[in-house]
Structure 1
Amino acid sequence: MNKKWASSLLVSAVITGLTLWGGVAIKEYVAGSITEEPSYLANSQLDEDEENFLSQLSMTREEALFEAQQKVIQIETPIGSIGSGFIYNTEGAIITNAHVVANASEVTVITADSARYTGNVIGISDTTDVAVIQVDELAGREPMELETEKDAELLDQVLTLGSPLGFQNTVTSGVIDGTNRSFAIEPFKYENIDQFTAAISPGNSGGPLLDANSMKVIGINSAEEPDQNLGYSIPIADVTEMVDNWIENPMDELPEFDQYADQPSDFVTPTMEEQALYIAQYYLSSIEFGDYVTAYSLLGVSMQEEYTFSEYKDYFQNLLSISLKSSDSFVVSGEVEVRASVEKEELINNKRESTLYNYRFLISQENGQYKIKRLEFSEE
């Protein structure tokens, strides 16, 4: 098994036009995805007062997620790599991974409203994968709320926020399925690391891992094990003292990372297959969140001509959950075919039913963007 960082070099054409949808659509639809069961099912079992309470609770969580997205930053380095970060304090400090900004003293940061600023790296460790960027223009912005009193526990529900493959403000969900992990990716040592199942991809590095209930930051997303669909996060409580020291006393001289003479060795432009796999995963994740606007936007023109958005959205009215079990891809005549095993839980005749499906995506570029040109599925 090969752990690697979740940062990326990107071809900008891949992401043009898609980043705008991410934050807006998730704000509208995400609330039901992080409750114990979908609100439209739960509501049928509650009286009117309880329904009103649940509605208010969901709206509060929806708003909390939207607010959290406004505090997540996309980071671009002079060599073209992309990572993520988040606002740490009201003075404009941003936390990210050291490997995202290695050998850079200045980087470009992009906020959720697409504003671009220059940030200065004021602290970076050559052993712990953490760094701090100072952006004076962000002074006064509300920072992320941190969870420093409670350790993550097995099966805690979590959310990741960041810019996987440059898709800014993407949200994925999962659970903590391991704690106190230790490993090394030179030159960094990772200790007391939390392992989680939420999907992350190149570009997520440095973004926050949130407790899905409190919406507080519990960690910094730092590495992935793509073959196992696992992510790894540095607990935020383990690094706040170091971060505060850098903010109080910025480093006069930043360490050099010789192995990154030109660019980090793991940073490569994603292959066509990698980008197609991500599009398929992003599509299914969007449906899981109830974010049908984003899912529909990933379809090619011919598919959108076949179904109006209203018809497309109505298809999912009985869907309770959808999850990716496995996937594979290969190139066929300039297109990428992605085959996936997908489990759906649906409400059929007032009963929950789970079914495994074989999905087949055909993905290729359309006007400079990767789109799903055909989508077929059948029961396994």
Structure 2
Amino acid sequence: MKSKWITSILSTTLIWVLGVLSFFLISDWVPAQLHIESSILTEIDASKEDKEEKSVKEIIHQTQKSVVMIEVERTGSVGSGFIYNNQGDIITNAHVVAGTDEVKVKLADTREYDGTVIGMSTDTDIALIRVPDIKDIEPLPLAKDYPPELGDEVLAIGSPLGYQNTVTTGIISGVDRSFEIDHYQYENAYQFSAPIAPGNSGGPLILIKSGKVIGINSAATEVGTIGFSIPIIDILPLVTSWSETPMTSLPSMEYSVNEDQIASSIENIATYLVQYFYDSIDQQDYVNAYSLLGSSWQLNTSYEQFREGYLNTGSVIIDDIYTRTEGETVTVFTIIHAEERQDKEVITEKYQVEYKVGYENDQLKLISGTGEIIE
């Protein structure tokens, strides 16, 4: 009887000891594990990250909204630029705006605004234009800490020969290039293989894997496909100082008729506007596409009706496009292929579409459009 009593006490004591030890073990071990990432959550995050990675088409479409064409009436020159902050400031090349302090700025949707040059360098081929009316447009993201490497894929966006928002692709084919053109010093420039032409000057060089601006396209060789871009990280302190304290007087610079002086015709702009419309539909950016319509079209078609009409439309490919001009109105004829979802399957239809493009409050708009299926 006594031995049973002793055994009972020992068992109870052992249970208490094990309980106390377990308590301290768990209280020490569990918090230590809280910082360890769950493999399930890591896989979910990685999957989410993959889904959020933008396609090249998406990067192009979003970037184009913040890239502008710059026209200098005094010299007849055409160049490019891009919005870099929320004050409506546009980075471009100094040689694009040399000899003037007022320019015309044309957005991707062909809206035009007056811009004022608020900064210009005589050594570095960089200038800054301010257009307060566009400060609500999202600026392009800038690569402030990532130096591109040889072989990195890039996009060059601008208005070569007056063809607005043209996109070319290539790779970084050289780094740390230094040279002089006229009186401008180019230091540590990126060399790239994306084709550029007169009118590209001032446009952004986009790193595809990040979708960010790494440079300002500024020069190209006459032979071969070699372009040069000024690193964005090198000129940010300069343009930031101009943005915070605009120059009260610009340096006196000589200007002459140069290779960037290519005027864009109304036919080119009308063709571009229709292409940009289809690009917006292709990216399901219905708000942007609707904004390209004239007021009479919008009056007869609400945004909800417009959007509903394209909800089942997939990719749109332009097979052919040509124009006919009558006064200030341009008729743009297109042949397109469009993927359409019908009864849970995707079919491809071929259309012939005709658009009337004309000026409305000094802005070029899609006035009307009619189309029919081609059997």
TM-score by length of 2: 0.57
Check 1:54–1:188 CA distance in 2 against 1; reply closer, same or farther (3 A cut). Answer: same
Deviation string, structure 1 residues 266-299 (Cα, Å, up to 9, x no partner): 45559xxxxxxxxxxxxxxxxxxxx994673379
Out of 60, 64, 68, the position equivalent to 1:69 is 64
Higher relative contact order (CA 8 A, sep 6+): 1
Question: 2:218·2:229 contact (CA, 8 Å) conserved in 1?
Answer: yes
User: What amino acid sits opposite 1:217 in the alignment?
Assistant: V
Deviation string, structure 1 residues 348-377 (Cα, Å, up to 9, x no partner): xxxxxxxxxxxxxxxxxxxxxxxxxxxxxx
User: What amino acid sits opposite 2:69 in the alignment?
Assistant: Q
User: What amino acid sits opposite 2:155 in the alignment?
Assistant: L
Partners of 2:322 and 2:127 in 1: CA distance: 34
Out of 100, 121, 126, the position equivalent to 2:96 is 100
Out of 205, 213, 216, the position equivalent to 2:209 is 213
The residue aligned with 2:157 is 161
The residue aligned with 2:175 is 179
Partners of 2:100 and 2:160 in 1: CA distance: 21
Check 1:110–1:209 CA distance in 2 against 1; reply closer, same or farther (3 A cut). Answer: same
The residue aligned with 2:137 is 141
SS at match of 2:242: helix
Check 1:264–1:148 CA distance in 2 against 1; reply closer, same or farther (3 A cut). Answer: farther
Check 1:299–1:153 CA distance in 2 against 1; reply closer, same or farther (3 A cut). Answer: farther
Question: 2:88·2:130 contact (CA, 8 Å) conserved in 1?
Answer: yes
The residue aligned with 1:85 is 81
Alignment map for 1:321-360 (pairs within 5 Å): none
Partners of 1:242 and 1:215 in 2: CA distance: 23
User: What amino acid sits opposite 1:121 in the alignment?
Assistant: V
The residue aligned with 1:132 is 128
When the two chains are superposed, the root-mean-square deviation of aligned CA atoms in Å is: 3.0
Out of 197, 203, 206, the position equivalent to 1:201 is 197
Check 1:54–1:125 CA distance in 2 against 1; reply closer, same or farther (3 A cut). Answer: closer
The count of aligned residue pairs is: 234
Deviation string, structure 1 residues 128-164 (Cα, Å, up to 9, x no partner): 0000000000112210000010112100100011111
SS at match of 2:99: coil
SS at match of 2:62: helix
Alignment map for 1:1-380 (pairs within 5 Å): 56=51, 60-78=55-73, 79-258=75-254, 260=255, 263-267=256-260, 293=317, 296-297=320-321
User: What amino acid sits opposite 2:126 in the alignment?
Assistant: V
SS at match of 1:297: strand
Of the two, which has the highest radius of gyration? 2
* Structure 1 position 237, deviation (Å): 0.1
SS at match of 1:210: strand
User: What amino acid sits opposite 2:320 in the alignment?
Assistant: Y
User: What amino acid sits opposite 1:190 in the alignment?
Assistant: Y
User: What amino acid sits opposite 1:164 in the alignment?
Assistant: P
SS at match of 1:151: coil
Aligned residues with identical type, % of pairs: 45
Check 1:239–1:143 CA distance in 2 against 1; reply closer, same or farther (3 A cut). Answer: same
User: What amino acid sits opposite 1:77 in the alignment?
Assistant: V
Runs of 4+ in 1 over 6 A off after TM superposition: 52-55
TM-score by length of 1: 0.56
Check 1:294–1:264 CA distance in 2 against 1; reply closer, same or farther (3 A cut). Answer: farther
Partners of 1:60 and 1:54 in 2: CA distance: 13
Check 1:239–1:80 CA distance in 2 against 1; reply closer, same or farther (3 A cut). Answer: same
Partners of 2:318 and 2:173 in 1: CA distance: 28
* Structure 1 position 177, deviation (Å): 0.5
* Structure 1 position 170, deviation (Å): 0.9
Question: 2:176·2:190 contact (CA, 8 Å) conserved in 1?
Answer: yes
Partners of 2:170 and 2:104 in 1: CA distance: 30
Identify unmatched segments of 5+ residues in structure 2: 1-46, 264-314, 325-334, 338-375
SS at match of 1:226: coil
Partners of 1:150 and 1:59 in 2: CA distance: 18
SS at match of 1:239: helix
* Structure 1 position 107, deviation (Å): 0.1
User: What amino acid sits opposite 2:144 in the alignment?
Assistant: T
* Structure 1 position 222, deviation (Å): 0.2
Question: 2:140·2:212 contact (CA, 8 Å) conserved in 1?
Answer: yes
Deviation string, structure 1 residues 317-338 (Cα, Å, up to 9, x no partner): xxxxxxxxxxxxxxxxxxxxxx
